Amino acid sequence: MNNNIKVGDSVNPSKTTESESRITPWQGIALIFGTNIGAGILSLPYAGRNGGFLALFIALAIAGILTTLSMMYVAEVSLRTSKPLQLSGLAEQYLGHWGRWLVFAAIAINGTGALIGYAAGSGELLENILGIPPTVGTLLFFALGTFIMYKGLEATGVAEAVITIAMAGIVVILVMWTFIGPGIELENLWIMRPYFIIPIMNLAVFTFMAQYVVPELARGMRDKHPDKIVPTIIGGMVATGITLAAVPFAALGLMGTNVSEVVTVSWGQELGPIAYYLANLFALFAMMTSFLAIGYTTMRNVLDIFHWPQHGWQRGVAVSMTVGLPLIITFAGFGGFVSALSYAGGIAGVVMSIIPVMLLHAARKHGDRNPEWSLGWAAHPILQATIIIVYGLAFLYSVGSILGIVPAGWE
């Protein structure tokens, strides 16, 4: 048992009105990994080019550790709640209507921002790989992802696991190819400009923002694998952190500041034709895994916010709302790739990370079931305060960026 948790004395069975889906710890790790490894990783090298790899690494470490803690808080809250609620539903139960709508708005902003990035990027990638028009590629990508997402948690978990294995293989090949082939320049990596850690943090927050999949993970594991929930969260976040650091390490070490906004374009071109296709395929897989996880949890939160049943015509409406708006915004030509992700990370990230702190306090007082475990030192007030301060500053940066009042060089 992880020394970060304490086993409860008794457990009340959870009675729900819907059939429970089951996922294994490995599928849970894949779900977290797939949620995080999406559009964000493709733009990290570009976002970190001015601050240097060391500044990027520090931002990733801070965001990763604090997000992991807030995910643990959500897990305990879910285990203290009988109903299989999403994050917005948990916020309504413990914080009231204002919490419900605030969390839903954060999820909607994050989901819409992410899916806009996938809509724009998937069309370009399929054009590079298959030579089809970008609009057709975007529609094909969304059609496949929407179908899997509609089928439910188990279908999403299986798809995430399969695609994640393929992604891991491609990353290993590209990183090793970079080292064995042209190699890296160490002087490109030993760059540290602390001034740029703050703007990099916003995108780092976005790449790690997977709190909203934790209720699904807890719901799918609490009957058969309750003691594996925290190790699964840690495993998924460690795998995420290693991958998020490895890609910029290889790309920046190879190309320095001459990286494209979507790193796989310049990275693949630098290594040759085969690597170019592999890099684009990795990017496509990354977008699909993140699309599935983010799309599914956003859809479930739409159902929760309107108190709709999980199946029936309402599910189709929720799916349409989830994928329709990003497609409309994309085809209308609004929003840039990195800027959209950065704003989404700063604005939604503060809610997604601070609200779990509030939920934990409320659930420990008013939860309606005895949890299988409760957090120990990970819920220390100092750590909770650190989460609030760091993500509060990220929010202020996003507001400043939108208003155009951030210092020169941070744009």
Show pLDDT as tens, one digit a residue, over the chain (411 residues): 333 444 333 333 334 334 456 778 888 888 888 778 766 777 788 888 888 899 999 999 998 999 999 999 999 999 999 888 878 889 889 998 888 888 888 878 777 877 887 887 788 888 878 888 988 988 999 998 888 888 776 677 778 778 878 888 888 888 888 888 888 888 888 888 888 888 888 778 777 878 878 988 888 887 788 888 999 999 999 999 998 998 889 888 888 888 877 777 788 778 888 888 888 888 888 888 878 878 887 888 788 788 888 777 888 888 888 888 888 877 877 655 545 555 555 567 677 778 899 999 999 999 888 888 889 899 999 999 999 888 888 778 777 776 777 765 565
- DSSP of 125-154: HHHHHH---HHHHHHHHHHHHHHHHHH-HH
Are 298 and 318 contacting, i.e. CB atoms less than 8 angstroms apart? no
Q: Specify the residue for token string 């807890």.
A: 218
Parse the chain into domains and list their residue ranges.
Answer: 22-403
Torsion sign across C-alpha atoms 41, 340, 61, 38 = negative
> Any idea how long the chain is?
411
Dihedral over Cα of 335, 339, 342, 343: its sign: negative
Q: Identify the helix (H) or strand (E) that includes residue 96.
A: none
Q: What is the pLDDT of residues 241-253, one digit of tens each?
A: 998 998 889 888 8
Domain 22-403: CATH superfamily is Amino acid/polyamine transporter I (1.20.1740.10)
- Reported pTM: 0.77
